[in-house]
Amino acid sequence: MPSKISVIGAGNVGATSAQRIAERGYADVVLVDIIEGLPQGKALDILQSAPVINFKTAITGSNDYKDTAGSEVVIVTAGLFRKPGMTRDQLLAANTEIVTGVINNAVKYSPECIILMVSNPLDAMTYLAVKASKFPRKRVVGLSGVLDSARLSTFIAAELNVPVADISAWVLGAHGLNMVVIPQLSAVRGKPLTGLLPEETIARLVERTIHGGREIVDLLKTGSAFYAPSAGIARMAESIVLDKKEILPCAALLDGEYGIKDSVIGVPVKLGKGGIEQIVEFELSAEEKQRLYDSAEGIKTLIKQMGV
């Protein structure tokens, strides 16, 4: 029997994720939204691409959480997105309410699922999901570093005119202005970036990565990014459902790792059937560790505001 993945929120990020997952063919997909007809219409449209693309998995839309029952992974994209001039953190109050409701409904029907958080502000929403679900922390993970690292890789590839496949980049920390880019860990065919580009160029690419989401919000004006986010979501979901155990930079609740407790930030995690099967501790310099610590402290401020 194929695996089952539910995607909550049938907007840009949710529907594109559902499409990517359905096309890969490793899981049946249920798309849920509060707007009547929206998930049903989008799911039907995606399903009608199956004869052309040639995938066999089922995709359905619903306004009822009953249809999500028994999901292995529940992906939460429900909520507001930011408009030009807004930071992700300004979505906190509205999305806290939406995400709390979504999590309560989702875990009622899929008590054994892995929750993949996407709604922003991502790290705070991931923390909220752990608390609201009462799941062990290994079963709640958030999309952050896969997306931010993909953005950095894209910029490095363009700068050096090399294939993106040759690049490995690691962006850790908060999914926001306090993200932690570690150039020493970014490499082209194993050669650290620090030896390939001048410091000012690296600084410019890092800066563009930090504001990568805002650049797209400013261009779109009526929406935020969804193609690269959905690619990251599909990669993470696949690693979980197919038990690939990929090591990816993801948001996780920390309990002493990297010297951080009771906060969520992006760290390297091993993602498999059990969710976060391991938090991998890279060797970092004292200065890099301090930046991660400060990033996690910033998230604690948001957590306090949520009052969970």
Tell which one of 144, 154, 224, 239 touches ligand APR (CB under 6 A).
224
Question: Closest by alpha carbon to 118, among 34, 235, 257?
Answer: 235
CA distances from 89 to 34, 59, 141, 296 (A): 23, 33, 19, 14
3-class secondary-structure state, position 23: helix
79 binds ligand APR (CB under 6 A): yes
Write out the binding residues for ligand APR, residues 31-60 only, by CB under 6 A: 33-35, 38
Other C-beta atoms within 10 Å of 70: how many? 11
Provide the 10 A C-beta neighbour count for residue 195. 9
What b-and-e string marks burial along 104-125, b requiring 16 or more CB atoms within 10 Å of the CB?
ebbbebbeebbbbbbbbbbbbb
What track of x and - describes contact with ligand APR for positions 108 through 137 (by CB under 6 A)?
A: ----------xxx-----------------
Please, which residues bridge with residue 74 across strands?
6, 115
Query: 287: how many CB neighbours lie within 10 A of its CB?
Result: 7
Q: Which residue has the tokens 């310099």?
A: 285
Least Å from the CB of residue 44 to ligand APR: 16
- Catalytic residue flag (residue 175): yes
User: How many Cβ atoms sit within 10 Å of the Cβ of residue 178?
Assistant: 18
Tell whether residue 8 is a contact of ligand APR (CB under 6 A): yes
Beta-bridged to residue 73, according to DSSP, are: 5, 114
Return the range that interacts with ligand APR (CB under 6 A); candidates 46-54, 107-115, 223-231, 250-258.
223-231
SS3 content of the chain, % helix, strand, coil (to 5): 50, 20, 30
3-state secondary structure 108-155: HHCCCCEEEECCCCHHHHHHHHHHHHCCCHHHEEECCHHHHHHHHHHH
Q: How far is the CB of 167 from ligand APR (least distance, A)?
A: 24
Stretch that binds ligand APR, among 2-10, 169-177, 178-186, 192-200 (CB under 6 A): 2-10
Task: Report the residue number, 50 or 220, with the smaller CB distance to ligand APR.
Answer: 220
Query: Least distance in Å: CB of 230 to ligand APR?
Result: 9
Q: Which of 77, 96, 126, 209 binds ligand APR (CB under 6 A)?
A: 77
Find the residue with minimal CB distance to ligand APR.
11
The yes or no reply on residue 17 touching ligand APR (CB under 6 A) is no
User: Residue 81 or 258: which CB sits closer to ligand APR?
Assistant: 81
- In whole angstroms, the minimum distance from the beta carbon of 245 to ligand APR comes to 26
Question: Under the criterion CB under 6 A, does residue 239 sit at the interface with ligand APR?
Answer: no
Instruction: Name the segment binding ligand APR (CB under 6 A); options: 29-37, 169-177, 183-191, 295-303.
Output: 29-37
What's the closest the beta carbon of residue 23 comes to ligand APR, in angstroms?
18
Question: Interface with ligand APR by CB under 6 A: which range of 20-28, 150-158, 219-227, 242-250?
Answer: 219-227
Candidate list 5, 7, 13, 193; residue touching ligand APR; CB under 6 A: 13
| H or E element at residue 191 | strand 191-192
Residues that bind ligand APR (CB under 6 A): 8-14, 33-35, 38, 77-82, 91, 95, 98, 101-102, 118-120, 223-224, 226, 229
What is the set of active-site residues? 175
